[in-house]
Amino acid sequence: MGQLVKPDQLARLISYMVSSQSGVMTGSLVDYDQNIAGSSPE
């Protein structure tokens, strides 16, 4: 937690969301920022 998402991690999420495995996911909001939203650099 508390780290920036790496491009390959985000790519895996997107790949899952567009695959047939995510067929039961409809109208979902996926918060994938790992608690970084709104924080400022130190």
Distance of CA 30 to the CA centre of its chain: 6
Q: Is the distance from CB of 13 to CB of 30 less than 8 angstroms?
A: yes
pTM across the whole model = 0.56
Side chain identity, residue 28? S
- The Cα–Cα gap between 25 and 42 comes to 36
pLDDT grade, residue 42 (50/70/90)?
Answer: low
pLDDT tens figures, 2-28: 677 788 988 998 898 888 888 877 777
End-to-end CA distance of the chain: give it in Å, rounded: 16
At 30 the pLDDT is 74
